[in-house]
Homo-oligomer: A and B are copies of this chain.
């Protein structure tokens, strides 16, 4: 048997075998097939060797095909299995023979079906894997996606390297996060879809990520976990150094029923998980959107940024709504100091420009010298940690692209140069014109401004960010090793089809 190098060889393989690649798939609908994995690796210009395994083929997609993993003429670091469920046991025996330890079983149709045959097959492959020392990820999963290794597992996704790991029981959620992350400035170290968790569970991956130098933030989607105590220990230990963001699915009756058929999971009860989050301080989210928003915030803002917000928008009704949303999401909206108000009143008109907080003072957005001065003035207020600008997409559109460019520049320069170090972030208000809001969100993010799609999303992410850092500070854990976290995604970029 080869010396065990740990998961590292699976995440940076020199040779990948794909078992169950059809000779031709022209015109067939997209699905999780061997050919899909093969073509994604080729498109990503994977630098290692790819071995299609198909006893009936000589060459597939320009590559020599082999009859079995054990007939490949070099050691195989990672095997992707896409044959039908009934054929999987035979493939695993072949992997044991080949001493190919890291095996990803994509195939579904095991315990999650709830059928006797599925359970029987799952028991059988567990026995083979345990006996042969295989490190199986799956079944019913999409395996490993590693930008730094040019291992691409998802269609229509950019291969963007960065400090964020995602460990997920759902392959669909991996695909979504891999797509949504990069436009929010999120790049990935390892994306791990582990499906039914036959052998390798979330805790095993957390152990690896704990010492993975590529990974600074850990996101997770969990339906269930075999060793809950171990998960709690690991997250408690990791969270101060590498923030752990968790979406726990299936805590309602209908979600739980779906989880049972999705990955054969027993989703657990809400009380247990509420206690888990309270004890560990892990950041709780309920969707990929929320996961992306809070991750973006962790990457962009300094840990010192707290939850006391000056909200700055235009329109009285919007100010009321903003106050309500901040309160509901757990942010503080302090009254500005008299000194701050007096200073603002020196250069701002009063009518309809109400100097409480949220500030109804949209006209300041029209004049960049006023805006800069107003931002500096509010940032000086000791009761404020962060300025949240709330702008209608229509505002940018109405005033045109030159205005948008000047506004963007003004906020960028403030964030770079302001002596207070307190950031201005932006939430865009959609006004019902398709595409307007999203367009400006991306436009502002391009310039490095932390920008959220909506005010509720901004408030939710900022509140979680502040709560996380408060928890870490209060628990006295030593988080200095890994902070600050404002590294940016870097490295290779490849656009899939």
| A residues in contact (CB < 8 Å) with B | 29-31, 85, 108-109, 112-113, 140, 155-156, 168-173, 175-176, 179-181, 183, 221, 223, 249-259, 261-263, 267, 286-287, 289, 292, 314-324, 326-328, 333, 335, 350-352, 354, 356-358, 360, 363, 366, 394, 398, 430-435, 438-439, 441-442
Q: Is the CB of A320 within 8 A of B156?
A: no
Q: Is the CB of B258 within 8 A of A360?
A: yes
Contact yes or no, B170 A315, CB < 8 A: yes
Assuming A156-B398, A439-B434, is B317 touching A170 (CB within 8 A)?
yes
A360 to B321, CA, bound (A): 37
Q: CB-nearest residue of chain B relative to A326?
A: B254
Asked if B394 and A156 sit within 8 Å, CB to CB, the answer is yes
Q: Are A324 and B254 in contact (CB under 8 A)?
A: yes
Asked whether, in the complex, the Cβ of A323 is within 8 Å of the Cβ of B250, the reply is: yes
Closest residue of B by beta carbon distance from A395: B30
Q: Do B435 and A434 have beta carbons less than 8 Å apart?
A: yes
Q: B residues within 8 A CB of A31?
A: 363
Distance of A256 from chain B, by nearest CB (Å): 7
From known contacts A108-B351, A183-B432, A316-B170, infer whether A251 and B324 are also in contact, taking CB-CB under 8 Å. Answer: yes
Q: Is the CB of B319 within 8 A of A258?
A: yes
Q: How far is the CA of A317 from the CA of B173 in the complex (A)?
A: 6
A113-B354, A261-B316, A434-B435 known; 10 new pairs, CB 8 Å cut-off, are A29-B363, A156-B394, A172-B316, A179-B394, A249-B317, A252-B324, A254-B323, A259-B320, A259-B323, A292-B432
Give the distance to chain B from A298, nearest Cβ to Cβ, in Å: 18
Tell me if B113 and A257 are in contact (CB < 8 A). no
In the bound complex, CA of A321 to CA of B439 (Å):
27
A-B contact pairs, 29 of them (CB 8 A): A109-B351, A156-B398, A168-B317, A170-B318, A172-B316, A175-B431, A181-B432, A249-B317, A249-B320, A249-B324, A250-B323, A250-B324, A252-B327, A252-B328, A254-B326, A257-B323, A257-B333, A257-B335, A258-B322, A258-B356, A261-B356, A262-B316, A262-B354, A262-B360, A263-B316, A434-B439, A434-B441, A435-B438, A435-B439
CB distance from A117 to the nearest CB of B (A): 11
Q: How many copies does the complex hold?
A: 2
Given A29-B366, A431-B176: A320 in contact with B356 (beta carbons within 8 A)? no
CB distance from A404 to the nearest CB of B (A): 15
A316 to B254, CA, bound (A): 13
The answer to whether B255 and A323 touch across the interface, beta carbons within 8 angstroms, is: yes
Which of A173, A249, A323 is packed against the most chain B CB atoms within 10 Å?
A323
CA distance A97 to B442 in the complex (A): 55
Would A258 and B323 be within 8 Å (CB), given that A108-B351, A183-B432, A183-B434 are in contact?
yes
Cβ contact within 8 Å between A255 and B324: yes
Docked complex Cα distance between A255 and B317 (Å): 9
Cβ-closest chain B residue relative to A251: B324
CB distance from A258 to the nearest CB of B (A): 4
How far is A324 from B287 in the complex, measured between Cα atoms in Å?
Answer: 11
**Cβ-defined contact, B256 with A323, below 8 A:** yes
Are A321 and B249 in contact (CB-based, < 8 A)? Answer: yes
Report yes or no: B255 in contact with A327, Cβ–Cβ below 8 A. yes
Known: A183-B432, A352-B108. A320 touches B262 (CB 8 A): yes
CB-contact partner of A316 in B258, B357, B398, B442, under 8 A? B258
Give chain B residues whose Cβ lies under 8 Å from the Cβ of A351: 85, 108-109, 113
Decide: A431 and B317 in contact? CB cutoff 8 A.
Answer: no
Residues of B within 8 A of A85 (CB): 351
Q: Report the separation of the CA atoms of residues A344 and B490 in the bound assembly, to the nearest whole angstrom.
A: 48
Collect the chain B residues with CB atoms within 8 Å of residue A286's CB: 324
Q: Which chain B positions have C-beta within 8 A of A171?
A: 315, 317
Give 4 nearest A-B pairs by CB, closest first.
A170-B317, A262-B316, A180-B432, A252-B327
Q: Would B179 and A431 count as touching, CB distance under 8 A?
A: yes
Closest to A316 in B: B262
Min CB–CB distance A445 → chain B (angstroms) = 11
Q: Closest residue of chain B to A179, judged by CB?
A: B432
Contact B434 A327 (CB under 8 A): no
